[in-house]
Amino acid sequence: MTLKLLCSGVERKAYRVTRAALLALLIASCVPSTPTVRRPSHFADLVYSAAAQKYQAEMERRYQARDVSYVLPLLNYGVTSLYGRDWPEARKALTAGYRIDEGDVPEAAKFYQWLVVDSRRVYRLAKRERELVHLYLGLAYLAEDDLPEALVEFKKLRLRDQGASNLPAVNFYMGWLYEKLGKYDDALLEYRPLVGTAAGWQLGADELVARVESLAAGTLTPDTGRVELLVHVDHQEASGMGRVRLLADGAEVADIAPALDRFDVRLTQAEQARKDLQEASAEATRTGMRCCGSVLGELLWPRHGAQVADLAADLALGKEDEDRDYRYWGYAPVAVAVLRTRVPAGTREVRLEFDNADGRYIGSCVYPLAGDRRRSFSAGGAQFVIAGLAREFYQY
């Protein structure tokens, strides 16, 4: 009898618990759920300020942490400052970056007080990365309408690597600068190699040559009804490399091919072999020091020999992270797209519409050409628009 009563009591309790759970579930189902806000599928602007602030802090943090790749966020900060139209900061960061790469830290320290003179080995820029630093410095000087200094930076690019003469973007910008400075023979030397190439077709190299020849002969008729516009787009991600449409006050003007130039910043085979050998040698030395240090460490501090050995190796060789060669500049573009065209005088704004590599529309950005909201700059009598295309910059 006692067992039967006990069982019935358990059953009643289980019933009450089950009923309460079902009631709670019913009540919960009646409460309106929090609405899910879906992010738009297309971005409506490209914003660089947050990325610039992030890399400004990151470059100092890495330096203080003795991370040899601190030059990379410094360069990222320079490029995002350029995209964000902070020309002085862009020039300062990019100049300090290549000074550090050259080993001239005292000169770089003139730009940033947190840099101090030491013999620390730093990340070494790849050939194309060095070229990009001078390309962006040239654009930064252009943004301040300083054409002679811009030309100096493109000349430095050529001096650093004669192979740069095979980069269409370099031919185009140097030809444009010589044209604007009235050095028509030099401009033709830059433009003519583009004729008959895929990049030359994108840029209208035949028209560029004909224009400069007319300028040299004094026979060019000014086009007073239209203004010159140059558009420069950096594709940081291969997935985003698609067609770019240019519209002026809503009217379609031209399509921009996704790749005038491609920039490969990976290690060459020789660099990779040298890097592997250096890392193997460093690892062997570190392992030997740890083995010897652990034996001595046990004698000095029993049961803590391994920690003593690691500390000794870090003091002698630097922390293990310092020996890593991070071959990655985050905003070294996969490809560069450039367009030179003309838009009607009085155009208020231009709009860039972007497709991804699959041909799907992913977003757009508007660039007012005048007023307080202006996002272009003037150089050599032309309007310039520069855009960097990466997911980090998309604003929905």
Quote the pLDDT of residue 393: 95
Strand partners for 287: none
> DSSP per residue over 244-298, as a string?
EEEEETTEEEEEE-S-SEE---SPPHHHHHHHHHHHHHHHHHHHHHHHHHHHHHH
Q: What are phi and psi of 139, to 5 degrees?
A: -65, -35
- Residues 194, 171 contacting (CB under 8 angstroms): yes
Q: Please give the Cα distance from 32 to 15 (Å, whole number).
A: 28
- Give the start-to-end residue ranges of the domains of the chain: 44-150, 167-221, 225-265+327-396, 269-323
Quote the pLDDT of residue 312: 62
**Mean pLDDT highest for which of 8-12, 29-33, 244-248, 315-319?**
244-248
Q: What are phi and psi of 360, to 5 degrees?
A: -90, 135
Quote the pLDDT of residue 326: 43
Q: What is the 3-state secondary structure (H, E, C) of 38-56?
A: CCCCCECEECCHHHHHHHH
At residue 121 the predicted structure's pLDDT band, cuts being 50, 70 and 90, is low
Q: Is 118 exposed, middle or buried (0-12, 13-18, 19+ CB in 10 A)?
A: exposed
> pTM of the full predicted structure?
0.75
Q: Which of 117-121, 163-167, 387-391 has the lowest mean pLDDT?
A: 117-121
- Residues 121, 66 contacting (CB under 8 angstroms): no
- Residues 124, 324 contacting (CB under 8 angstroms): no
In the predicted model, is pLDDT for residue 154 greater than 90?
yes
Q: Is 28 exposed, middle or buried (0-12, 13-18, 19+ CB in 10 A)?
A: exposed
- Residues 312, 289 contacting (CB under 8 angstroms): yes
Q: Please give the Cα distance from 23 to 319 (Å, whole number).
A: 60
Quote the pLDDT of residue 324: 41
In the predicted model, is pLDDT for residue 248 greater than 90?
yes
At residue 343 the predicted structure's pLDDT band, cuts being 50, 70 and 90, is very high
Quote the pLDDT of residue 20: 56
pLDDT > 70 in the chain, percent: 70
- Which has more confidence, 263 or 248? 248
Quote the pLDDT of residue 64: 84
Q: Which of 36-50, 175-189, 194-208 has the lowest mean pLDDT?
A: 36-50
In the predicted model, is pLDDT for residue 381 greater than 70?
yes
- Read off the tokens for 168: 């269409």
Strand partners for 345: none
CATH architecture of 225-265+327-396: Sandwich (2.60)
What are the DSSP E strand ranges found in the chain?
45-46, 226-235, 244-248, 251-256, 261-262, 335-344, 349-355, 361-368, 377-379, 382-389, 394-395
Q: What is the mean pLDDT of residues 223-233?
A: 94
Q: What is the pLDDT of residues 95-111, one digit of tens each?
A: 998 888 888 877 888 78
Quote the pLDDT of residue 4: 46
- Read off the tokens for 247: 């519209």
Q: Please give the Cα distance from 207 to 266 (Å, whole number).
A: 35
- Residues 232, 350 contacting (CB under 8 angstroms): no
Q: Is 58 exposed, middle or buried (0-12, 13-18, 19+ CB in 10 A)?
A: middle
Q: Please give the Cα distance from 42 to 173 (Å, whole number).
A: 32
Q: What is the pLDDT of residues 7-51, one digit of tens each?
A: 455 455 555 655 555 555 445 455 555 555 566 789 999 999 999
- Read off the tokens for 122: 């730093």
- Which has more confidence, 376 or 103? 376
At residue 184 the predicted structure's pLDDT band, cuts being 50, 70 and 90, is very high
Quote the pLDDT of residue 158: 83
Q: Please give the Cα distance from 344 to 358 (Å, whole number).
A: 32
In the predicted model, is pLDDT for residue 286 greater than 70?
no
Q: Please give the Cα distance from 120 to 323 (Å, whole number).
A: 11
For 34, 73, 224, the CA distances from 77, given in Å and listed in that order, are: 39, 6, 39
Going by C-alpha positions, the residue among 228, 211, 227 that lies closest to residue 219 is 211
In the predicted model, is pLDDT for residue 264 greater than 50?
yes
Q: Please give the Cα distance from 284 to 278 (Å, whole number).
A: 10
Q: Please, what's the largest Cα pairwise distance for the chain?
A: 120
Angle, CA 156 vertex, CA 338 and CA 106 arms, to 5°: 120
- Residues 309, 316 contacting (CB under 8 angstroms): no
User: What does the radius of gyration of the chain's CA atoms come to, in whole angstroms?
Assistant: 30
Quote the pLDDT of residue 40: 72
- Residues 216, 184 contacting (CB under 8 angstroms): yes
Residue in the structure block whose two tokens are 């005292």: 106
pLDDT > 90 in the chain, percent: 49
Q: Round the average pLDDT of the chain to a whole number and report it.
A: 81
In the predicted model, is pLDDT for residue 2 greater than 70?
no
